[in-house]
Structure 1
Amino acid sequence: MSPTTPTVLVADDDQAIRTVLSHALGRAGFDVRTTGNASTLWQWVSDGEGDLVITDVIMPDENGLDLIPRIKKIRPELRIVVMSAHSTMLTAVKAAERGAFEYLPKPFDLNEMVNVVRRGLETPRARPDDQSGMPEEALPMIGRSSAMQEVYRTLARLMNTDLTVMVVGESGTGKELVARALHDYGKWRHGPFVAINMAAIPRELIESELFGYEKGAFTGAIQRSVGRFEQAEGGTLFLDEIGDMPPEAQTRLLRVLQEGEYTTVGGRKTLRANVRIIAATHRDLRQQIRQGMFREDLYFRLNVAPMRLPPLRERTEDLPELVRHFLSKAVSEGLPLKVIDRAAMDRLMAYRWPGNVRELENLIRRLAALYSQEVIGVEVIEAELAEASAVVEPEGNGLSQSIEGHLKTYFAALGNALPTPGLYDRVLHEMERPLITLTLQATRGNQIKAAQVLGLNRNTLRKKIRELNISVVRGGK
């Protein structure tokens, strides 16, 4: 950076963008030079001009992303900010892979752009590792909404680091897709990607699944078994539904994160763990910490780089693009081509999608497989969504609406009379007994699992079972 006023070079074929940036950056105290093509920008950079570059991707004479490696070759210290109206995950990842300092989708916030420029001029620069060879095929995440742009930018920043990432999001938002993208397009891509879902494995087997076991470690261990940590050596280990990990396994995982080593179940030899860990959960781990169900020290070790995935209801503008993608995917699977008409699309966009993108994909596949008409109208969508709404996931509003309906009936029956005092406690008490009873039935009398489902400490659940005189039948319906 020059000792005088910093100069920012702006390349964009849109005159309005050049004018707006010139005024905003000028008011912020920078000298600004603008051009509508890549060749002039390249000439300025070749002549040693400019302290920071802002470039569009699509320009009349050259793609801005293709220009970045050439600039980096002759001026590796020059910071480059990429902006694009064609904002996809691939754009963000390519910009980061080729050495861009920051990526901003259009339309961008002017204050954010000014702040990015200030950071680019003030932050010491570390040379990035060579990340050549990144695959060019389409990336697995779809959407151009502002919520997804933030996901793409975070992915681009994290993919070539060793940081442990915690992906948080509701069921069906694509947490494993994020984990795979971090692996497939990052520095660990040459190693294996190994996933394990804590909720899908019996609790007593999780430690041996993760860390492996030696012959004779327990009844049935007739030979040594390799665990997921060993399988993921040199690559990425994805710990899905980390909130379902039992306390004993949490303690062993904490040691891996702290010391970088572990032992197999029944083993004495210390093994080094050379893996990048990505964890994911749909649970509120802070609440689980308060309830004594999750270790706080493990949470902070896992939550080094938090990443939140937005539910589909927060990015409904992405829905038409997602629908087109899933319709095309259905055709590639041998199902007939379908078209969603405008009224049907509007109804899809008005739905809250408690099952998120997974629910949408399943619906589109069902429409392609079960309906003979080529054009799907709103009547079909109404029927499908009405059936889906009959079973609402816990993250939806169905339970709240149902309770509201019962309370409205209760107040209507009272007429002008007010209910007797203590209504709040009475309603909670009336709900508590059937809630615990049905949860115990669903878990076949397993109080540990029921406590997890309810989000209660096991001792608290046992106390309530006694107080409410609830009978528990293990293995029963």
Structure 2
Amino acid sequence: MSILLVEDDESIAIVITAALEAEGFTVAHCDSIAERDRLLAARAFSALVTDVMLADGDGIETLGRVQALHPDLPVIILSAQNTLDTAVRASDTGAFEYFPKPFDIDELVRTVRQAASSSGLASGEDEGEVAGQGLPLVGRSPAMQAVFRMITRVLKNDLTVLILGESGTGKELVAEAIHQLGHRQAGPFVAVNTAAIPADLIESELFGHEKGAFTGAVSRHIGKFEQAEGGTLFLDEIGDMPMQAQTRLLRALQSGSIRRVGGREEVSINTRIIAATNKDLEPMIAAGQFREDLYYRLNVVPIHLPALRERAGDIEALARHFLVQAAGEGLPRRQLAPDAVEVLRIQPWRGNVRELRNFIYRLALLAREDVIDATALEPMLAQSVRHEDAAQTGPSDLESAVRHWLTVHQPATGAIYDSALAAFERPLFAEILRTTGGNQLRAAQMLGINRNTLRKRLSDLAIDPDSFLRRP
């Protein structure tokens, strides 16, 4: 089988070509759109692997004429522009797969093999231009690229999505992105925080009620399901939904219809369901606190949102994004100096992206200089930490603190050790480096570990020791 590779980065092209040829493929390589079109006109290929940014144009924008002439040719898109917009543009072309750089070469080879074998079965319908610009989902980390890829896979269908992640990671933003970029964007987006509704009112809020259904029901009330007709219903904090409401929700999902409280009429529903929770539902199922059958109904497509500490490389982009947002809302226009970015990057951010956003807005309001450096940032950060610590009700001894941390963060099974270790090491190393003024040799001696070990862990945790250097 013959593959056409369009890639202007010679080193990447060499790696891909070698990997594909090792699997028995014949690879034709070019580095421009013009040469791509010439080769496609001259011979047939089993699949096209193309980068986005090429010397003579945009690889995605020019795919239309390729697909018009070769409708059965599977296309795999590579891109270093690892934004949600790029992922959506790639998906909207009907591409077989999209790979943000850097990518796993073995996974690419497997995908090329599948694409070549499919011989056109993977081509999708073009649904027109999708407005993906301006959505507040920021991140180039591998963890966020995985989220973007999952979002693109559910845009053209109505599969139920369950968004999982800690508080403050942006679960509602993902739900809004799926709605705004999907084929239901013309319909309403209705968000319901099921944890904020009293247990005795949640069924009425979701399904509506008829006049006289209960004391105080003086007129018919249309519930959230009917309000979201033709659009998307987002059920946030689904893990806090009372068991009786869970039963009725399951029935609605199974039957495709609802019955208002106190009513007899079955009302058909045409609504996409997206649910979210910051809890681990499987232990709740074992404890009888969440229905197992409802879990499987909701968990058709799970999307796991990473905690901010797991994507520290995105903190700079997020912080600058929030400064731009703050300026757009009337706050002073600020910029971050490199040393300030490093200080932000090593913070634990227990409240995740929401906490970072609130801090950046406060910084934009209170900073005295237009360019904020570490010296200006640290006092406000210390004040925030003191307020957070004062609000903590957890005990101070280490054993109890571990129990408290596990309760609050509920790390996924299989990741508890790594998550806990990172959560403990980050503030420990930061405090020791602060004590030594950034001197790694003294820090390693105080910790009783090898300097190379310390250096590796600092790199793994994205901690810059230079940010702790004492200033004259």
| Aligned-partner Cα distance in 1 for 2:400–2:287 | 30
Deviation readout 1:182-211 (Å, 9 max, x if unpaired): 111112112111110111111111100101
Q: 1:233 to 1:46 in 2, by over 3 A?
A: farther
- Going from structure 1 to structure 2, the CA distance change for 1:279 and 1:376 (only over 3 Å counts) comes to same
Structure 2 match to 1:343: 339
Kept in 1: contact 2:95–2:123 (CA 8 A): no
From 397, 404, 423, the equivalent of 2:398 is 404
Contact 2:94/2:125 (<8 A) preserved = no
Corresponding residue for residue 377 of structure 1: 373
CA distance in 2, matches of 1:299, 1:391: 37
The structure with the largest alpha-carbon Rg is 1
Does the 8 Å CA contact 2:95/2:124 hold for their aligned counterparts?
no
Partner SS state of residue 224, structure 1: coil
Structure 2 distance, partners of 1:454, 1:17, is 39
Residue deviations 1:194-252, cap 9 Å, x none?
Answer: 11011111111110010111111111111111111101111111001101111111001
Question: Separation in 2 of the partners of 1:375 and 1:264?
Answer: 56
Match of residue 174 from structure 2: 178
Match of 2:193 in 1: 197
Matches for 1:462-477 after TM superposition, within 5 Å: none
The superposition leaves residues 107-152 of structure 1 with CA deviations (integer Å, 9 ceiling, x where unpaired) of: 2221111011112123471542331131253232111111111111
Deviation of 1:397 after TM superposition, in Å, equals 11
* Correspondence for 2:37 among 38, 42, 45: 42
**Change in 2 beyond 3 A, CA 1:406/1:85:** closer
**1:250 touches 1:295 (CA, 8 Å); kept in 2?**
yes
| Residue 98 of structure 1 pairs with residue 89 of structure 2 | no
Residue type at the aligned position of 1:403: D
- Aligned partner of 2:193: which letter? N
Q: Displacement, 1:333?
A: 1.0
CA distance in 2, matches of 1:70, 1:50: 16
Contact kept, 8 Å, 1:392 with 1:398, in 2: the verdict is no
> What's the CA shift string for 1:347-370, capped at 9, x where partnerless?
111111100111011001001112
CA shift in 2, pair 1:49/1:375, >3 Å: same
> Which residue in the other structure is 2:102 paired with?
107
1:16 — aligned with what? 11
Aligned: 1:67 with 2:57: no
TM-score by length of 2: 0.81
> Per the alignment, do residues 154 and 112 of structure 1 end up closer, same or farther by CA in structure 2, a change over 3 Å counting?
same
Equivalent pairs counted in the alignment come to 406
Report the TM-score when normalising by structure 1. Answer: 0.81
- Counterpart CA distance in 2 for 1:80 and 1:15 is 20
Give how far 1:23 is off: 1.0
Mapped to 2, the partners of 1:220 and 1:119 lie a distance apart of: 60
Q: Runs of 5+ in structure 1 lacking a partner?
A: 1-5, 408-426, 432-451, 456-477
Distance change >3 Å, CA 380–CA 199, structure 1 → 2 = farther
Q: Is contact 1:326–1:364 with CA below 8 Å preserved after alignment?
A: yes
Q: Contact 2:166–2:409 at 8 Å: present in 1 too? A: no
> Which residue does 2:130 correspond to in 1?
134
Percent identity between matched residues is 47
In structure 1, the partner of 2:159 is 163
Cross-structure match for 1:332: 328
Q: Which residue of 1 aligns with 2:314?
A: 318
Contact 1:44 1:50 in 2 (8 A): no
- Where structure 2 has 5 or more consecutive residues not aligned to the other structure, the ranges are 411-472
Looking at structure 1, the residues matched to 132 and 341 of structure 2 have their Cα atoms a distance apart, in angstroms, of 31
Match of 1:264 in 2: 260
